[in-house]
Each structure stands twice: as structure tokens, then as C-alpha cells.
A and B are shown apart, each in its own frame.
Chain A
Amino acid sequence: MTGAEAMAKCLMEEKVEILFGYPGVAICPFFDALGKTDIRSVLVRTEQNAGHAASGYARTTGRVGVCAVTSGPGATNLLTGIATAFADSVPLVCISGQVETDLLGSDVFQEADITGAAESFVKYSYIVKDVNDIPRVFKEAFHIANTGRKGPVLIDMPIDIQLAKIRNFEYPEEVSLRTYKPTVKGHIQQIRKAMQELTKAERPLILAGGGIFLSRAKKELKEFSEKHQIPVVSTMMGIGVLPTSHELYFGMIGNNGCLAANRAMKECDVLMMVGARVADRAVASPDVIMENKTLIHIDVDPAEIGKNVGPAIPIVGDAKAIFRDLEEIPIETDTKAWLQSLNEYRKVPSGRKAPKEHVDPAVFIQKLSLAMEEDGIYVADVGQNQIWSCRNVNVRKGRFFTTGGMGTMGYSIPAAIGAKLADMKKQVVAVCGDGAFQMSMMELAVIMQEKIPLKIVVMKNNYLGLVREFQHFHLDDAYEMVELGDYPRLDRIAEAYDIEYFLADSMDGIDELIRRFLDAKGPALLEARPDPMDTVKLAR
């Protein structure tokens, strides 16, 4: 058995169903071996999107997403995909081809020190120099990626190791890593202390982040908040932890969040943060917002506790396991008055003036998400479309994906491809702006080639809207480097790929248009034209 065959066998052992990648000579032996297995391989059109597609797959299934690329430029192109997964704690195993071990460090053709380059945004990386290490390395990589604080693991595979003969292939049953033992169960003393604080609380609040999905604790969170009638707000990565119209859910926090959520953050007396790291966009000045309240911080990563906010009652462990332990302790809570006052904030009108002649992105997104199937997946890109989506999407039993940590433009289409391929029964809609669309429109070919009935909405306003908006509010309308012009003509792009095309240039008949778009049999692209001068923030 060759190293390449051993690699493919490892993926079989890990029950990998699908792999996203792009070949080159340095990874050819592996793809050759992979072709002889049942694992589906999807050829993306640029390596970065292999990472995003694997991310969409991982977030849909809770399993490790896998991608493979060649050495040098293949690997460096993947870096943004890896960094995005790292910032959003998405479990990936990324395999890169590499030049022969003897030539390492001699700057030969298509050599890049990829483990060195990726060091600060991988959870761990390997460069395999002995073919007999392959089973152990793969076993460890999958374990590391999908336990503790999840994240990407990179395996760099020199071509001679892929071609070398392995003595005997034995896939390890267990990993033995003396330096890696993530905490799952929370400290019982801390859990008791947290529950005591919640008993004393008059205005308790749960701030839920993406960690809820990563630990599959959605059900536990819902039961806990309902049982004790504790209101819930979320970070951007936490959108969908509770259904949007759940009576205890008060929306997304942060500088792009909603009023009720931010008031709740300000006024609560006990704040229980779960799987959220409160970075700068969620809480601009953590020390101020944390005044006059007790903080309970639940996170699987001890380094997140006290990094941005603190001090707190820390509970390190897996959110699902901790909720189960919290449930064991009976407490009395009375939050009627608190919920009533929060519900008043819901009634405050947004103050947004709907544009008359264009598509109103806010209403459009509300209608789109409500017209989607209940358990559908909505993937938002980055920019104005993302903020409009976060504020207006209505998540019921489905999911909402976006890259909240890294904010990588072009994420939505490849991530939606990964999500759809993970579960072909689920309806998947990608929403992006015309800037982000042009960063990944090459993947339309993959959609057709792989027969993926994806629905894509492009909010076309001929600008890099969120930057233009920043220049409008902060730089006296100096619109530098943000004009995209009217190209490409999206109807023709759609035609070039044989994708059904829909145009929404006003709100007239929008419900019917959305219906037809979502009902389209194959892939479909809807071009929505908002007012180019429309802003996510209220006009001054």
C-alpha cells in the first residue's frame, strides 16, 4: 500500500463522504487513490472555495469538512479558507501536497512553507516525513479538529511520502496525545455558583454564540431558557439558536444588532455567556457594558474566558454537558417584569424609511426567509447584505450561516454548495452582494456540473456597499475604490451557466417572484436591486 492509498483509507476510516479540492502534480497520487474509493470529490474553481465549501458541509453536519489542494500556490490560495474556518471555529482537515522531502527548503517549483504560513490560524498542523506516520496523523487530525474548541487542522504531504510504501496499515482506535485533553464536563462547584447567581437575579440574560451549534446544545439552551423564563440574545454566529420569533429571543447584539438585544445587555444584572467570545463588533467596550452585573462565562476554550471580558464565574467545558448539569439544580426565577420591559423595546419602531422605487432589502429578506422551507439553510455573505440579513432573517427550524469572525467576502456561494451537498433534501439559499458574488462566481460552474439546485440572491447595488456606507458616514462621501459599475450583467452570467434568472427591481409582485425563484427546479439566480445609496444604519 502506498502513502496515498493509506491517506484515502484513513478518510474511509473516518467515514468521510465528500472532499472538496483542486489538483496539481504534488497531490496527484492522493487524488488517484481517492478516485478508487466511494468518497465523492468535488472540483472547485479556486482553492479558497474548497475551504469554504468544506466549512458549509461541516456546519451543516457537525462532522469534519475535508479539502485537498496541491503545493505552493494551491496551498497559499487555501489559506483564506483555513483562516476563515479558524475564526469561526469550524472543524476542517485540510490536506496539501508538498514537494519531495529532500527538496524541502530549497525553493523549488511550487514550494511554499505552508505549515509555517498557516501556523497562526490552524489548530494544529503536520508535515508528514515518514509514511508510517500517516494513520496516526490522520486519526489525530480528525480528533483535534472536531473536539474542544473546533478548528482547522492542516496536513502537509510531500509527494515522495504519498508514493512511498507503508509497512502495515493499522488505523489507531484511540488517540494518545498527552498535551491535548479538552475539558467537557464543567466544574460542579462553579455550576452551583452560577445557579445561585441566577436565583438572585432579577434581570438574568443568556448571550448565546456559535458555540451552541458547535456543541449541538440548541435543544438544551431552549429547554433551559424556557424552564426558567430567561431571555436570550445572540451574537452574529449565534443567530438561529432560538427561532427568531420565539418569545424569549430578543435578537442579535452589537453595533449592527437590534435595540432590544443591546438594551437587554445593558440592563441585565446576571449575564450568562455561552459559547460567545464577545469580540469588538459584538461589544465595543466590554468593560463598560459589564459594569453592575455578574458575568457567568461558559466556554470550551479557557483562553476565551477573561480575554475580552471579565472577571467572571468561569465554567470551562462543553455547553451541552454544562446545560445538562445546570438542569440538575432546581432554582426559582421570576422574570415577568423583566420580560415585560424587554418586550416594550421590541415595539420601538426601527425608524427605517423604506425606499419606494427600489427593492427594500429589509422587507425582501423577511419575505425571502419566511418563504423558505422551515428547515432551510440561509447563507449570508459579507457586507450590507450580511447586516440586512442578520437583522431581518427569520430562522425557524433551519440554520443561518455567515462568517462572523473573519468576514471573508465570497463565502456564501461555496459554503452554500457545501451545505447543499451535505444534505440534498434541505433548501439552501445563498445571499450575497455584487462585490462578494464576483469573488466566487466561478463556482457557478460547479453548481451546474455537480447538479446542485442552489438558490442564489445577488443584491446588486453597483457598490461595495458597506464600505461606501462607511465613507458616507465617516469620510464625507469620499467614495474611493468602491464603485463596481453595472457589470457584469447578471442575466448574461446566468445564461452563460444555464442558470434560471429572476430580476427584482422593485417591490411590486415581490412575493410571487420569490415564490417562483424558490420553486425553480434547478439552480436559480435572483438579482435584487436595492437603492445604491441605501444604508444599513439609519440616515443622519
Chain B
Amino acid sequence: MKKIYSVLVENRSGVLSKVSGLFARRCYNIESLAVGETDDPNVSCMTIVSSGDMRTIEQIEKQLNKKLDVIKVKTFDEEVSISRELMLIKVKYNKTNRKDIMEVVSAMKAEIVDMSRNMMIIQICDRPERTRMMIKLLSGISVVELARTGTLALSKCEMEG
């Protein structure tokens, strides 16, 4: 079962290592992890995507709550969240495939953000399954480098009830 944990933590040095260390030590899986400051500079938000059976999923939330640097944990399913991932892909292109690449970029509502005579960087910001699809579509082309943020997610407004 897949779950998204939105974890508000004190913005102090060492906190990321404490939280990721907890996952490693207790053999919890991390599919992705993204961290950034919130509107309050003293608080960071970690978005962790993990999976496991019912007991594990419950334990992850409880163990996170035990950490003294953790302010709040929200656990939710993908369906009730808005999730996005940003990906940058540097590809080599030539005359013959340039048009194909442009077509993929436009079909996926991606964007070319940098370009030279034989290379370009494509940016896509979309649902995680769409970024995965983008990788698949470009797999026939020579990808030089690729970087992803990992999933960012917030629970849907209606969930706040």
C-alpha cells in the first residue's frame, strides 16, 4: 500500500538525517523524499512517499511523531492529494530526431528551458506518473542527464473539511 507523508519539522541542521535514518533503521521503504522550507523559515516540510502493509504504515506515522524535531505528520493516499514532480532532462539531439522530440515536448506540455547546437534541457512539472511517462517517451533518444525533485504533495482542499 502506498502512502504519502507530509511531515512538518523544525528547520535545524541534522533533522533530515534523523528522519531518513529512522526509515533506514526500521527498514521502511522510501520511494521519494523532498524537502523545503515552508512559509515559516523555522519550519521545513518533508514529503515522503512510502509503502508497506497496514502495520508498517501506521508505525511510520507513530515513529515519525516520536521524533522530537517533528512538529506534525499528515498521512494520506495519492487519490486525495495533489501531487507534482519537477524533472529536468538533458538530451542530445540531431536533425533527424529534433522534430520527434519537439512533438513529445508539446504533447506532454513540457518545455525546453535551455538549448545549444546539439543539446537541450527539457523541463516537465506534472503528476509523478506523467514524469515517468516522459522518461519512457524519451528513452529512444540519448539522455545525457536527468534530475527529479521527487514527489511534492498536499492533501486536497476538501480533505481539510
Chain A residues within 8 Å of B, Cβ to Cβ: 115-116, 119-120, 123-124, 144, 177-180, 301-303, 306-307, 310
Closest to A124 in B: B68
Q: Which of B14, B63, B68 contacts A180 (CB 8 A)?
A: B68
- B139 proximal to A (CB < 8 A): no
Q: A119-B18, A119-B21, A179-B71 are contacts. A306–B55 as well, Cβ < 8 Å?
A: yes
Q: Which of B10, B66, B68 contacts A303 (CB 8 A)?
A: B66
Q: A303-B63, A306-B58 are contacts. A179–B69 as well, Cβ < 8 Å?
A: yes
The CA-CA distance from A178 to B66 in the complex, in Å, is: 13
Q: Which residues of chain A are within 8 angstroms of B97 by Cβ–Cβ distance? A: none
Residue from the set A115, A123, A124, A179 with the largest chain B CB neighbour count within 10 Å:
A179
Question: Closest Cβ of chain A: how far from B15's Cβ, in Å?
Answer: 11
Question: Closest Cβ of chain B: how far from A179's Cβ, in Å?
Answer: 5
- B136 proximal to A (CB < 8 A): no
Q: Which residues of chain A are within 8 angstroms of B18 by Cβ–Cβ distance? A: 119
Q: Which residues of chain B are within 8 angstroms of A303 by Cβ–Cβ distance? A: 59, 62-63, 65-66
Q: Which of A116, A124, A144, A302 contacts B62 (CB 8 A)?
A: A302
Closest to A123 in B: B68
- B25 proximal to A (CB < 8 A): yes
A-B contact pairs, 9 of them (CB 8 A): A119-B18, A119-B21, A120-B22, A177-B68, A179-B69, A179-B70, A303-B62, A307-B55, A307-B62
A179 touches B66 (CB 8 A): no
Question: Closest Cβ of chain A: how far from B89's Cβ, in Å?
Answer: 35
- B17 proximal to A (CB < 8 A): yes
B17 touches A116 (CB 8 A): yes
Q: Which of A120, A123, A302 contacts B65 (CB 8 A)?
A: A302
**Known contacts A303-B63, A303-B66; can you find 12 more A-B pairs with CB under 8 A?**
A116-B17, A119-B18, A120-B25, A123-B68, A179-B10, A179-B67, A179-B69, A179-B70, A302-B65, A303-B59, A303-B62, A306-B59
Closest to A306 in B: B58
Question: Closest Cβ of chain A: how far from B104's Cβ, in Å?
Answer: 45
Closest to B10 in A: A179
A119 touches B17 (CB 8 A): yes
What is the number of residues of chain B that contact chain A, defined by CB distance less than 8 Å?
Answer: 19
The CA-CA distance from A177 to B25 in the complex, in Å, is: 25
Closest to A129 in B: B13
A307 touches B59 (CB 8 A): yes
Q: Which residues of chain B are within 8 angstroms of A307 by Cβ–Cβ distance? A: 55, 59, 62
The CA-CA distance from A306 to B70 in the complex, in Å, is: 21
The CA-CA distance from A324 to B63 in the complex, in Å, is: 28
Q: A115-B14, A302-B65 are contacts. A178–B71 as well, Cβ < 8 Å?
A: yes
Closest to B64 in A: A303
Q: Which residues of chain A are within 8 angstroms of B62 by Cβ–Cβ distance? A: 302-303, 306-307
Closest to B68 in A: A124
Q: Which residues of chain B are within 8 angstroms of A144 by Cβ–Cβ distance? A: 68
Q: Which residues of chain B are within 8 angstroms of A310 by Cβ–Cβ distance? A: 55
A120 touches B21 (CB 8 A): yes
The CA-CA distance from A179 to B66 in the complex, in Å, is: 9
The CA-CA distance from A140 to B59 in the complex, in Å, is: 26
Q: Which of A116, A179, A302 contacts B68 (CB 8 A)?
A: A179
The CA-CA distance from A307 to B60 in the complex, in Å, is: 10
Q: Which residues of chain B are within 8 angstroms of A124 by Cβ–Cβ distance? A: 68
Question: Closest Cβ of chain B: how far from A538's Cβ, in Å?
Answer: 35
Q: Which residues of chain A are within 8 angstroms of B58 by Cβ–Cβ distance? A: 306
The CA-CA distance from A306 to B63 in the complex, in Å, is: 12
The CA-CA distance from A307 to B63 in the complex, in Å, is: 10
Closest to B43 in A: A178
Question: Closest Cβ of chain A: how far from B68's Cβ, in Å?
Answer: 5
8 smallest CB-CB distances across A and B, nearest first, come from A303-B62, A124-B68, A120-B25, A179-B71, A180-B68, A303-B66, A179-B68, A303-B63
Q: Which residues of chain A are within 8 angstroms of B17 by Cβ–Cβ distance? A: 116, 119
Closest to B62 in A: A303
Q: Which residues of chain B are within 8 angstroms of A306 by Cβ–Cβ distance? A: 55, 58-59, 62
